[in-house]
Amino acid sequence: MTNRPGLNNEIVEAMPHVRRFAYSLTRNAADADDLVQTVIERVLDRGVPDDVELKKWMFRVCRNLWIDGLRAAKTRMDAVPELKDQPADTLSSEKVAADQMMMAKTRQAIDELPDAYREVMTVVGLGGASYKEAAAMLDTPIGTIMSRLGRARAMVAERTGYHD
Amino acid sequence: MTDALKDLDIRLSAYLDGELSPEDMAATEAMIAEDEAVAARLEALAAAQADFDAAASEIDDVPMSAGLSALIDDLEIGAVGNDAPSNVVAFPFWKRAGAFVEKHRAIAAGVVVAAGTMTLTTAIPAQVASVDTLSGTYYADSGLGQVLEVAASGTQNDIGNGATVTPRFTFASDDGFCRVADVSSSRTDGRLVACRAENAWRIAIATFGEAPSTSRGAYRTASAAGSQSVEAFLDAAMSDAPLDLAAEADLISSDWTKQQAETE
């Protein structure tokens, strides 16, 4: 575990991906930013193993911090305006114009996913982890990772209309 | 939905991730080729993951929190992390040599900000327009020279009309002393290097860009804050580490009259 040269730049480059990852877990922009900030501080404080891809390492730290603490604060979601409640001018115009209804359906589908399902879609689908890596990260058998992913994607597909 | 279809979902999902054994991959490919319903289901599962990913990327359009934005700023200038030298407001690219100064110093050296009273005019963009990546317009204000003359690095100084100047650090150059400062107003954000000679501060290089719009709050991308030309300039101009804050304070209190050798 060392502080490798150029770590700052690596962190800045990885940050947008980690932010998406955090948002996917928390489903709340304010919580996501708090989580990303904590991830960066943790990485700066404790360093990074020499042989790991920083982005994946930050995903792992992010997920662990989320499990450790921030999920308990999920009640904030009721107190802080969520992304879907924000004025339209904070979103890019093409997204608002083109897919508003579809996106609303998707958001609802994601919000309704059990946490364990949302985690596997985040860690594997969004984060690019292999099933083996996801199994280690989530402390779950590979077979369970595989079945959760299939069911999670099926749930999203059904609730967004792709089963028709 | 039947259990069998759910099993199919698991199989197709694992197929999408390339996580089946070679035999199962081949068998699944055959199922997809033979049955349109299976192929449609595969497409639905892939679309579900794509929608999931797209929903996550919505946060790209949301301004970063103030705390996260400040942390990213600090990472970029090297004020935190292992790129930061101790006891200085640091910059991460200070020691590599290069030809940038020789190439650009003559172009950019014409603008003077006199200590204390001189007004920095809007002529600055024209004067340094040849310098790489300059964009936008500079916010003219007479307070810049005074800030460079007396303010410690790391302090944010209001120079009026909503503009602030934050000196980042001071370093010794061949000809005297230079300071790196960030300038921010409602119209522009930028970073400059100014060097002191003959009781005046000259802008050696500056990069400016459009300030974030009010609807975007504190949002800016990581790249927007990066001033590559300034970094390249510093690569070449700095032969040693920035002064620590105590040495800088001595210089300021002596009205910048100390010889360079005394500070080393």
| Tens digits of pLDDT across chain B (264 residues) | 334 345 899 999 999 999 998 998 889 989 999 999 988 898 889 889 988 988 888 888 888 888 898 888 888 776 666 554 433 322 332 222 223 333 333 333 333 343 332 233 333 333 332 232 332 223 333 467 778 888 998 888 887 666 778 888 888 887 788 888 887 766 556 777 777 776 777 766 666 554 443 333 333 332 333 345 566 667 777 777 788 888 899 999 988 886 554 444
**Cα(A121)–Cα(A138) distance, integer angstroms:** 12
Which residues in chain A are contacts of B3 at CB distance < 8 A? none
> Which of A37, A50, A55, A108 is best to mutate for the B interface (most B CBs within 10 A)?
A37
Single residue among A35, A70, A86 that ends a domain in this structure: A86
Q: Are B92 and B181 spatial neighbours (Cβ–Cβ below 8 Å)?
A: no
Q: Is residue A50 part of a domain?
A: yes
Task: Determine the pLDDT at residue B11.
Answer: 94
Task: Determine the pLDDT at residue B80.
Answer: 67
For residue A106, is pLDDT > 50? Answer: yes
pTM of the model: 0.52
Q: Is residue A32 part of a domain?
A: yes
CA neighbours within 13 Å on the CB side: how many for B78?
20
Residues B14, A122: C-beta atoms closer than 8 Å: no
Same domain (yes/no): A66, A132: no
Give me the number of domains chain A comprises. 2
Single residue among A86, A120, A139 that ends a domain in this structure: A86
Same domain (yes/no): A6, A77: yes
Same domain (yes/no): A106, A125: yes
Same domain (yes/no): A78, A111: no
Residue partners of A94: CB distance under 8 A and separation at least 6: none
Same domain (yes/no): A25, A63: yes
Task: Determine the pLDDT at residue A42.
Answer: 93
Same domain (yes/no): A52, A20: yes
Domain span holding position A82 = 1-86
Q: Is residue A72 part of a domain?
A: yes
Residues B215, A19: C-beta atoms closer than 8 Å: no
Same domain (yes/no): A71, A16: yes
Single residue among A86, A108, A141 that ends a domain in this structure: A86
Which residues in chain B are contacts of A13 at CB distance < 8 A? 222
Residue partners of A18: CB distance under 8 A and separation at least 6: A36, A39, A55, A58, A59, A62
Q: Is residue A60 part of a domain?
A: yes
Task: Determine the pLDDT at residue B81.
Answer: 62
Of the candidates A15, A83, A157, the beta carbon closest to that of B58 is on: A83
Confidence class of residue A160 from pLDDT cuts 50, 70 and 90?
A: confident
Q: Is B25 on the interface with A (CB under 8 A)?
A: no
Closest-CA distance, B177 to chain A, in angstroms, reads: 27
Of the candidates A102, A121, A150, the beta carbon closest to that of B14 is on: A150
Same domain (yes/no): A1, A64: yes
End-to-end CA distance of chain A: 50
Residues B81, A92: C-beta atoms closer than 8 Å: no
Task: Determine the pLDDT at residue A113.
Answer: 93
Residue for token digits 């100064």?
B101
Q: Is residue A164 part of a domain?
A: no
Q: Are B127 and B226 spatial neighbours (Cβ–Cβ below 8 Å)?
A: no
CATH of the domain at A142: 1.10.10.10
Same domain (yes/no): A123, A80: no
Residues B17, A124: C-beta atoms closer than 8 Å: yes
Same domain (yes/no): A11, A46: yes
Question: Per the structure block, which two tokens stand in for B173?
Answer: 């150059």
What is the mean pLDDT of the segment spanning A3-23?
Answer: 87
ipTM for this prediction: 0.79
Same domain (yes/no): A81, A101: no
Q: Is residue A76 part of a domain?
A: yes
Q: Is residue A55 part of a domain?
A: yes
CATH of the domain at A12: 1.10.1740
Same domain (yes/no): A27, A59: yes
Q: Is residue A5 part of a domain?
A: yes
Burial of A43 (0-12, 13-18, 19+ CB in 10 A): buried
Residues A20, B57: C-beta atoms closer than 8 Å: yes
